[in-house]
Structure 1
């Protein structure tokens, strides 16, 4: 008996090569597959890398000084020498309040007439900061930056003038892992998980569902190939495609956006391979259950893309979510991949983080692939 005609449960190397060759040729002839794998990652990274920022920079604020003096000039000057604020000097509080209502400024810093005199008194001098709280995140950042400027200015003012201020506090900041406090360093690695989800789950679900619609899957079922060969033959080419998308994403993150990669590149691609297996398993499972491209794409977006975007910790902190939602995030594969990416990029090879998250991905990959194999049957009904 020829080696190519093994029993139904076995795997023939010759048939497997033929299936993989067919898939690669189909990918090369399908512009949408190439676009999702290579063009979409570039577009998303450019949009998020350059267009999305969680940093509060160049925030317009109003400076109102009731009684100008040397101390007020020194303090308000602190706001002008930092990239966080674009200060606008206004003559009175009424003008500043109107500017805030009209959206021309996001905060008001008000120094009253007794600012210079009370500076030397035990109780200190009050500084009023009014913040537009419509955007809660920006409001908190403005308050944090404003408080930091106030404390640092007090310390510097006391040193320069050789005086002792009761409220003088020296702040020594120490930031680990992202010393520049750039949101890009946080967003870009997390975005790679979303990109890998799109390539692995959405692309696989669409392509296999398309084959069911066109009838080519039925023709494949009529051949001697086994179900194991079909599953491997479908997964391998898209695994290679996903690895190419991962390579492009990592290259853009490191060389275009200057995101530091402190961990092992081999370990990074190792955990990416685990996540790709999970995403491919989800895509194959969806396409097996829904043999229609439209239905498969909607399910893939709802079940894989949206959870990866919203519940993975990519943008929104999981610890800030309600307890019920935090529990739900444990079944989202992207949660574990985002944690691995941000750790490997920003902190390095932290094995206490890598092992549990990698193990969770391995278990999920096994579950999805077993489900795909159990549900898939070589039949035409």
Structure 2
């Protein structure tokens, strides 16, 4: 490998990047857009859910329970006169469910036996229905504990559970989504940008000029790899900075560990992009292949939004060949838990092997031929 020719190729690629608005947009504008879109527009929490309340015989007990629901950030309470009105409101999507307190609600709650309420939920969105059910159960238990304390009665259960949430005590879905989104952004920057730019060179004929020059394929690949690696790390730095400052996502791990894992994943993504460009020399085809092979799996099967352990066994096996799975795991660990080496080292090892594989296959697949 001739260092003089390599410096010339790196300079030529760097100038081409600076003159290409689309490359800079993918590296810096696209991360900003996606972070704003997902950070503010996507939430896995259910808050301010419209819920109906039907009290057949209003009394102080029903009022205090309704007050417990009103003071919760999870509910917007709508008091309704009857079960028929509540059913009609839920059918018209005015409320997501309703709580029914029977006429003997006060006697049940003040008596020796357990009090009961009726709850009906719209189960079309099963995930939201489960969340609302959990929130209602929690509100009910809090109200019962308050009533027992006011009456001076012994608690119904001899043991009171105290729950502690680790790593994300505020249960903010943004703290979970934003680190995973960085993996999707890095996939787009690495694979899509590299595949499109190299395919564009084939279309314009500049790659043929390189083929006719004395440079080797290894020099061509390294000359294209290094500038886009620097560009990708710049996009990574922008994404991490926005995550910490704009979205207040905690970064409990080491920046050095984060940078090292990001470099490994970026090498994998660049290797995939170069391999796609060597197979598809058309920008449209290369873009479609990049989206199907890299972006969609990173979005759906990496654990970014959907829990891998809840997927079918076959799909769980497929996720082991996806680089984004390991990078999402590293990002969520470094951001939310810290430098947990039992998680980071195996995932980083998998990324290193994938980087060697994709870059090696790209080098073996690339030849100084036009066919």
TM range (shorter): over 0.9
Deviations 1:223-275 (A, max 9, x none): 11111111100100000010010000000000000000000011001100000
Query: CA shift at 1:155, angstroms?
Result: 1.1
Match of 1:224 among 214, 219, 226: 214
Q: Give the stretch that moved more between structures: 195-204 or 223-232.
A: 223-232
Deviations 1:83-129 (A, max 9, x none): 10101111111111100000000010111111110113343111111
| Aligned position for 1:29 | 19
Is 1:205–1:286's contact at 8 Å kept on the other side of the alignment?
yes
| Aligned position for 1:180 | 170
Query: CA shift at 1:53, angstroms?
Result: 0.6
| Aligned position for 2:147 | 157
Q: Tell me the TM-score normalised to structure 2 length.
A: 0.98
For the residue of structure 2 that corresponds to 1:164, the secondary structure is: coil
CA 1:110 to 1:165, structure 2 compared with 1: closer, same or farther past 3 Å?
A: farther
2:114 maps to 1:124: yes
Query: CA shift at 1:172, angstroms?
Result: 1.8
For the residue of structure 2 that corresponds to 1:104, the secondary structure is: coil
Query: CA shift at 1:80, angstroms?
Result: 0.5
Q: Report 1:221-370 matches (<5 A).
A: 221-370=211-360
Query: CA shift at 1:153, angstroms?
Result: 1.4
Query: CA shift at 1:193, angstroms?
Result: 0.3
Is 1:154–1:168's contact at 8 Å kept on the other side of the alignment?
no
CA distance in 1, matches of 2:370, 2:34: 39
Gap runs ≥5 in structure 1: 1-10
CA distance in 1, matches of 2:115, 2:155: 11
2:162 maps to 1:193: no
Gap runs ≥5 in structure 2: none
C-alpha RMSD over aligned residues:
1.1
Q: Tell me the TM-score normalised to structure 1 length.
A: 0.96
CA distance in 1, matches of 2:80, 2:161: 30
| Aligned position for 1:207 | 197
Is 1:90–1:96's contact at 8 Å kept on the other side of the alignment?
yes
CA distance in 2, matches of 1:125, 1:316: 37
| Aligned position for 1:108 | 98
Query: CA shift at 1:340, angstroms?
Result: 0.4
Query: CA shift at 1:167, angstroms?
Result: 6.1
Q: Give the stretch that moved more between structures: 339-348 or 154-163.
A: 154-163
| Aligned position for 1:5 | none
CA distance in 2, matches of 1:99, 1:169: 39
CA distance in 2, matches of 1:261, 1:366: 29
CA distance in 2, matches of 1:81, 1:21: 62
Query: CA shift at 1:166, angstroms?
Result: 3.2
Query: CA shift at 1:303, angstroms?
Result: 0.2
| Aligned position for 2:47 | 57
Is 1:151–1:170's contact at 8 Å kept on the other side of the alignment?
no
For the residue of structure 1 that corresponds to 2:171, the secondary structure is: coil
For the residue of structure 2 that corresponds to 1:119, the secondary structure is: helix
For the residue of structure 2 that corresponds to 1:331, the secondary structure is: coil
Match of 2:62 among 64, 72, 88: 72
CA distance in 1, matches of 2:192, 2:199: 11
For the residue of structure 2 that corresponds to 1:88, the secondary structure is: strand
CA distance in 1, matches of 2:270, 2:341: 26
CA distance in 2, matches of 1:319, 1:39: 33
Deviations 1:14-50 (A, max 9, x none): 1111001111111111110000000000000000001
Deviations 1:136-156 (A, max 9, x none): 110000011111111111112
